[in-house]
Amino acid sequence: MDLWRIRGGARLEGDSVVQGSKNAALPILAACLLCPGRVELLRVPRLRDVDAALEILRHLGCRAEQEGDRVYIDASRLSGSVIPRSLMEKMRSSVIFMGALLARTGQASLSMPGGCRLGKRPIDLHLLALRELGARIEEAGEEILCRPALLRGAEIRLPFPSVGATENAMLAACAARGETRILGAAREPEIVSLQAFLRGLGARISGAGTDTVTVSGFRPRDSLRFRIPADRIAGATLVCACAACGGDVLLRNCDPRQFSAVLHFLNDAGCVIMQKHDRVRIKAAGRLCSIGPVVTAPYPGFPTDAQPLLMAALLRSEGESVFRETIFEDRYRQVPALQKLGAQIRVQGREARVRGVKRLRGAALEATDLRGGAAMILAGLSAEGETLVRDAGHIRRGYEDLNGSLRSLGACLMYEGEEHGIIQNSEAL
Which residues are designated catalytic? 116
Q: Please select the residue that binds ligand EPZ; options are 10, 33, 64, 125, rule is CB under 6 A.
A: 125
What's the closest the beta carbon of residue 188 comes to ligand EPZ, in angstroms?
Answer: 6
Helix (H, G, I), strand (E, B) or coil at 407: helix
Size of the site for ligand EPZ (CB under 6 A): 28
How many angstroms separate the CA atoms of 64 and 55, rounded?
A: 8
Per CB under 6 A, 160 contacts ligand EPZ: yes
Per CB under 6 A, 10 contacts ligand EPZ: no
DSSP 230: B
Site string for ligand EPZ, 364-383 (x = CB under 6 A): ------xx------------
Q: Please select the residue that binds ligand EPZ; options are 120, 276, 277, 358, rule is CB under 6 A.
A: 120
Residue placing its CB nearer to ligand EPZ in the complex, 54 or 363: 54
Kind of pairing between the strands at 223-227 and 204-206: unpaired
Residue placing its CB nearer to ligand EPZ in the complex, 81 or 162: 162
Site string for ligand EPZ, 81-110 (x = CB under 6 A): -----------xx-----------------
Residue placing its CB nearer to ligand EPZ in the complex, 113 or 247: 113
Positions 326 through 355 that interact with ligand EPZ (CB under 6 A): 327-328
DSSP 229: P
How many angstroms separate the CA atoms of 268 and 249, rounded?
A: 18
Q: Name the residue type at position 116.
A: C
Residue placing its CB nearer to ligand EPZ in the complex, 52 or 224: 52
User: CB–CB of 371/378 below 8 Å?
Assistant: no
Span from 35-43, 97-105, 156-164, 343-351 in contact with ligand EPZ (CB under 6 A) = 156-164
User: CB–CB of 417/424 below 8 Å?
Assistant: yes
How many angstroms separate the CA atoms of 103 and 168, rounded?
A: 10
Span from 36-44, 81-89, 114-122, 210-218 in contact with ligand EPZ (CB under 6 A) = 114-122
What's the closest the beta carbon of residue 274 comes to ligand EPZ, in angstroms?
Answer: 27
According to DSSP, the residues that pair with 323 across neighbouring strands are: 294, 352
Per CB under 6 A, 193 contacts ligand EPZ: no
How many angstroms separate the CA atoms of 266 and 235, rounded?
A: 13
User: CB–CB of 17/69 below 8 Å?
Assistant: no
Span from 61-69, 160-168, 221-229, 358-366 in contact with ligand EPZ (CB under 6 A) = 160-168
Residue placing its CB nearer to ligand EPZ in the complex, 371 or 396: 371
* Tally of CB atoms within 10 A around 301: 13
* Tally of CB atoms within 10 A around 255: 18
Site string for ligand EPZ, 241-280 (x = CB under 6 A): ----------------------------------------
What's the closest the beta carbon of residue 111 comes to ligand EPZ, in angstroms?
Answer: 15
Helix (H) or strand (E) holding 309: helix 307-313
Measured at CB, which residue is nearest to ligand EPZ? 164
Residue of 214, 144, 209 lying closest to 178 (CA atoms)? 214
How many angstroms separate the CA atoms of 86 and 330, rounded?
A: 25
How many angstroms separate the CA atoms of 400 and 108, rounded?
A: 31
Number of H helices, E strands in the chain: 14, 25
User: CB–CB of 6/341 below 8 Å?
Assistant: no
Q: Please select the residue that binds ligand EPZ; options are 16, 21, 23, 334, rule is CB under 6 A.
A: 23
Span from 18-26, 201-209, 283-291, 341-349 in contact with ligand EPZ (CB under 6 A) = 18-26
Q: Please select the residue that binds ligand EPZ; options are 56, 123, 203, 236, rule is CB under 6 A.
A: 123
Positions 393 through 412 that interact with ligand EPZ (CB under 6 A): 398
Give residues with Cβ within 8 angstroms of 370, minimum separation 6. Answer: 116, 394, 395, 397, 398, 399
Q: Which residues bind ligand EPZ (CB under 6 A)?
A: 22-23, 26, 92-93, 116, 119-126, 160, 162-165, 186, 190, 304-305, 327-328, 370-371, 398
